């Protein structure tokens, strides 16, 4: 364990943690768009800037050390934060989330030309698809403000499994998908939804995704994944009841 100081208050932290991880755990509010606890931090959006040891740094990538002094709301931090917000707002002017953050941090006017873009270029969609799902169905192309994320060559990817994790993790909800009782459509590809093996309710699962999970070997059993939430809970309760009854009988 190490001790750091956030806005003058002493806070305990574990070695290897980042400023953002510690601050969020302690209830401090640091805006962030490209950070997700399930993925390695890359500091792409630059919105989580703080002052640490007298320097402006990205809190999601800066590892704590004993005695580190961190200030979250200095005028310089807020000035840098407003600049980043202004750039993001110019890129994605119609984002409700960015509008909310602009009001919160006092960005009154965007001085750069507004675009019709809907993506903030954080790259979370590509990383969740590759690092967590293991599908590698999305790629990053271009550089800077010309960066974009798509299936390779802009065509429906044979590797997409319809999990919609990319849409779920997107901080500005710019990835569109459609679900019916029978299908999931995303990135121009339509896949059939599997049905609960017990009650036949539609699952948020496709055969492609199920095959990938089994192939990964995550100690998840296909028969368990083929149950909807209601039936899964019912099965769990039934199993628990059986275990308790058997224990009572043994006593």
The highest-level CATH class for domain 2-76 is: alpha beta
The answer to whether 136 and 129 are in contact (CB under 8 A) is: yes
pTM recorded for the entire structure: 0.83
What distance in Å separates the CA atoms of residue 76 and residue 153, rounded to the nearest whole number?
42
Query: Which residue is associated with the tokens 């058997």?
Result: 246
- Under the banding of pLDDT at 50, 70 and 90, the label for residue 238 is confident
Start-end of CATH 3.10.20.740 domains in the chain:
2-76
Residue-wise pLDDT for 43-57, tens only, equals 989 999 999 999 999
Question: 80-89: string of b/e by CB count within 10 Å (b at 16+)?
Answer: bbbebbbbbb
- Residue 129 burial (CB < 10 Å; 0-12/13-18/19+)? buried
- Under the banding of pLDDT at 50, 70 and 90, the label for residue 24 is very high
The answer to whether 22 and 50 are in contact (CB under 8 A) is: no
Query: Which residue is associated with the tokens 């989580």?
Result: 48
């Amino acid at each position: 364990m190490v001790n750091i100081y956030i806005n003058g208050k002493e806070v305990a932290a574990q070695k290897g943690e980042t400023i953002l991880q510690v601050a969020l755990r302690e209830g401090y509010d640091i805006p962030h768009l490209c950070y997700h606890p399930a993925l390695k931090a890359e500091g792409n959006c630059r919105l989580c800037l703080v002052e640490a040891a007298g320097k402006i740094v990205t809190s999601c990538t800066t590892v704590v050390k004993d005695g580190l002094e961190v200030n979250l709301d200095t005028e310089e931090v807020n000035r840098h934060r407003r600049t980043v917000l202004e750039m993001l707002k110019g890129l994605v002017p119609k984002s409700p989330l960015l509008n909310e953050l602009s009001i919160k941090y006092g960005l009154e006017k965007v001085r750069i030309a507004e675009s019709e873009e809907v993506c903030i270029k954080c790259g979370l969609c590509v990383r969740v698809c590759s690092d967590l799902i293991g599908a590698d169905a999305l790629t990053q192309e271009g550089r800077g403000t010309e960066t974009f994320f798509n299936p390779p060559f802009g065509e429906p990817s044979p590797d997409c499994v319809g999990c919609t994790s990319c849409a779920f993790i997107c901080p500005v909800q710019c990835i569109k998908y459609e679900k019916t009782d029978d299908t999931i459509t995303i990135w121009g590809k339509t896949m059939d939804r599997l049905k609960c093996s017990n009650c036949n309710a539609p699952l948020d699962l496709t055969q492609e995704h199920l095959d990938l999970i089994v192939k990964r070997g995550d100690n998840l059993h296909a028969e368990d994944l083929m149950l909807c939430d209601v039936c899964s809970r019912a099965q769990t309760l039934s199993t628990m009841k059986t275990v308790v009854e058997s224990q009572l009988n043994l006593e």
